[in-house]
């Protein structure tokens, strides 16, 4: 099978759910181990055990429902997300997977997966749109400010990138344009896979510059839903 064949392949709903559960078991285990290093064993030991169970593919839907319940407990424990958007995405994927497992008919299962796929597309498009309508982003100043004084750069040395306004202007516009055109990739299975590779690269760079490692892993977990969705709607 050539690379092109792989890129043109879609997924069935069951395959997409299976892939998401395997990827989720890794991503949530990674989060849980980081938490365990800080304490909070009451929440994160059970969470880690459920990840292993889900990763091994045993227990059917129960580990997914268990992880959903624990994510709810985490929202209460931290009075909101611990890690911003990555916790939100974790909860969103678990909610959609939980509903897909509970769905009485394939139609409702597809609705749950479609909701996740649409939210994934919106996560890029809305993020691009709010930047486009902000003059500071259009002028390239916003990305300079991110490096100059925001809490995100992982080292003081990285702040010197704020002194490269032309480079950040180009990078800022590259991010805005990529996020805005991302939905168009749904029109073709190969374009979608390439767009997902670019998106993964974008998350990887955010992890390197801003320490957002959990975003990288958790966004990958939702990609099978979008690959299934593209095939289901446009395939």
Partner 1 sequence: MLRLFALFLPTVIPSWRFFKTVAPSPRIEYRLISGESKGRWQEDRPRPEHLGGWQILGRMLWNPDWNEQLYLVSCSERLIEAPSQHSIDEINLRVAKALPAGSGDLQFRLVFLSREGKQIVKLVEYESAPVSLASLKGASA
Q: Which positions touch partner 1 (CB under 8 A)?
A: 30, 33-35, 37-39, 72, 75-76, 78-85, 87-89, 91-92, 95, 119, 122-123, 126-127, 130-131, 134, 136, 142, 145-146, 148-151, 153-157, 204, 207-208, 211-214, 216
Nearer to partner 1, 74 or 189 (CB): 74
Which tokens sit at 33?
């181990």
Nearer to partner 1, 42 or 122 (CB): 122
CB 136, min distance to partner 1, A: 7
DSSP state of 114: H
Structure-token match 């879609």, residue found: 10
CB 190, min distance to partner 1, A: 26
Nearer to partner 1, 8 or 127 (CB): 127
Element (H, E) at 109: helix 106-132
The answer to whether residues 234 and 10 touch, using CB atoms and an 8 Å cutoff, is no
Nearer to partner 1, 160 or 233 (CB): 160
Nearer to partner 1, 189 or 219 (CB): 219
The answer to whether residues 63 and 55 touch, using CB atoms and an 8 Å cutoff, is no
CB 122, min distance to partner 1, A: 6
CB 5, min distance to partner 1, A: 30
**Cα(175)–Cα(198) distance, integer angstroms:** 10
SS3 134: coil
CB 58, min distance to partner 1, A: 25
**Cα(202)–Cα(177) distance, integer angstroms:** 13
Question: Which of 201, 194, 203, 193 has its CA nearest to residue 228?
Answer: 193
Structure-token match 């997924």, residue found: 11
């Amino acid at each position: 099978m050539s690379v092109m064949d792989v890129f043109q392949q879609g997924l069935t709903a069951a395959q997409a759910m299976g892939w998401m559960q395997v990827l989720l078991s890794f991503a949530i285990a990674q989060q849980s181990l980081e938490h365990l290093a800080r304490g909070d064993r009451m929440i994160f030991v059970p969470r880690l055990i459920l990840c292993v169970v889900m990763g091994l593919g045993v227990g059917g839907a129960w580990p997914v429902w268990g992880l959903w319940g624990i994510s709810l407990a985490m929202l209460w424990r931290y009075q909101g997300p611990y890690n911003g958007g990555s916790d939100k995405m974790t909860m969103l994927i678990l909610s959609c997977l939980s509903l897909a497992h509970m769905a009485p008919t394939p139609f409702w299962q597809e609705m749950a997966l479609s909701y996740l796929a649409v939210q994934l597309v919106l996560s890029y498009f809305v993020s691009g749109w709010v930047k486009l309508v902000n003059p500071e982003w259009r002028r390239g100043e916003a990305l300079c400010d991110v490096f100059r004084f925001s809490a995100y750069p992982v080292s003081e040395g990285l702040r010197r990138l704020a002194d490269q306004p032309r480079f950040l202007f180009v990078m800022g516009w590259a991010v805005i344009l990529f996020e805005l055109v991302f939905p168009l990739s749904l029109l073709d299975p190969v374009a979608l896979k390439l767009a997902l590779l670019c998106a993964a690269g974008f998350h990887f760079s955010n992890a390197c510059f801003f320490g957002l490692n959990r975003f990288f892993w958790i966004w990958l977990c939702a990609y099978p839903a979008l690959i299934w969705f593209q095939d289901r709607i446009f395939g």
